[in-house]
Amino acid sequence: MAAVIRLLRPSSSSSLSLAGRSFSTAVVTEAVKSQTYTQNPAPTAVDPKGRNVQWVFLGCPGVGKGTYASRLSTLLCVPHIATGDLVREELNSGSNLGKQLADIVNQGKLVSDDIIISLLSKRLEAGEGKGESGFILDGFPRTVRQAEILDEVTHIDLVVNLKLPESVLIEKCLGRRICSQCRENFNVASINVKGENGRPGISMAPLLPPPQCVSKLITRADDTEDVVKERLRVYNEKSQPVEDFYRGQGKLLEFDLPGGIQETWPKLLEVLNLDEQDEKQSVAA
């Protein structure tokens, strides 16, 4: 805990300039107030002028948190920290801890709060050593306890909650493939869900690998149908309350994915008031 407090300490006093421009989420907060994708009252995130963003991405397994958090981290020049990746690194390291975690992860259960916080602390400490500032967290917090600990030690500016219907999430998880060499993520699922009950239809083209990756594709051990269903059950039980936690703080931006990356990415930039065309690393002012 002490390590987390030290590592996640409030950084609002430290000003960091990106390519000569200070980054502020004030305009994002304004965007959140006016955008059409939120179903909640306008978030009232404190304006953390003068430091990098500290955002959280929430959403069920398979919704695409990693894809969009990673793209935004490149755009905003902040680290994308996915606790699932930290867990998988531990599993692949062959450490004793990794061996203990394998069963938990492969059954679709959550790793204990203590272990995940310790992995996150180590990652942040390494980043701090390299001068990293700000973050986009993906897959953390996943329990209300984790959210409370995060709140005790730092300020979260914005929480983006990505949403897709459950049937699409299952198809997407089952279609996920990773290149064992370059570690790039692909998806072989072709999704076409008809609109019903006032909900628009959803089409997502597969994200196919380039020829050099085709023979090296692997599937995550926890992307089998039974495990995906268990992960969704665990999400509804343990992680949905995290949405309520941030909704109560007025920080939750609800975002229903309209389709694949081609449709979703520009809309996400729009609601975040970001502009890829302008200048990388900057907020459209």
**Selection from 78, 79, 53 nearest residue 160 by Cα:** 53
Residue closer to ligand AMP, measured from CB, 81 or 274: 81
**Does the footprint of ligand AMP cover residue 140 (CB under 6 A)?**
yes
**Does the footprint of ligand AMP cover residue 172 (CB under 6 A)?**
no
Q: How far is the CB of 242 from ligand AMP (least distance, A)?
A: 9
What is the C-alpha to C-alpha distance for residues 269 and 285, in angstroms, rounded to an integer? 13
Q: How far is the CB of 282 from ligand AMP (least distance, A)?
A: 29
End-to-end CA distance of the chain: 38
**Does the footprint of ligand AMP cover residue 52 (CB under 6 A)?**
no
Element (H, E) at 54: strand 54-58
**Does the footprint of ligand AMP cover residue 175 (CB under 6 A)?**
no
Residue closer to ligand AMP, measured from CB, 67 or 146: 146
**Selection from 145, 136, 166, 151 nearest residue 236 by Cα:** 166
Residue closer to ligand AMP, measured from CB, 14 or 236: 236
Q: Are 128 and 24 in contact (CB under 8 A)?
A: no
How many angstroms separate the most distant Cα atoms in the chain? 51
Q: Are 157 and 25 in contact (CB under 8 A)?
A: yes
**Does the footprint of ligand AMP cover residue 116 (CB under 6 A)?**
yes
Residue closer to ligand AMP, measured from CB, 79 or 84: 84
Residue closer to ligand AMP, measured from CB, 23 or 255: 255
* Helical spans, DSSP H, in the chain: 2-7, 26-34, 65-76, 83-93, 96-106, 113-129, 144-153, 166-175, 211-214, 225-234, 240-248, 261-271
**Does the footprint of ligand AMP cover residue 104 (CB under 6 A)?**
yes
Among positions 84, 134, 175, 260, the unique one binding ligand AMP when judged by CB under 6 A: 84
Residue closer to ligand AMP, measured from CB, 109 or 216: 109
Among positions 51, 80, 142, 172, the unique one binding ligand AMP when judged by CB under 6 A: 142
Residues that bind ligand AMP (CB under 6 A): 61, 83-84, 87, 104-105, 108-111, 116, 139-140, 142, 146, 222, 231
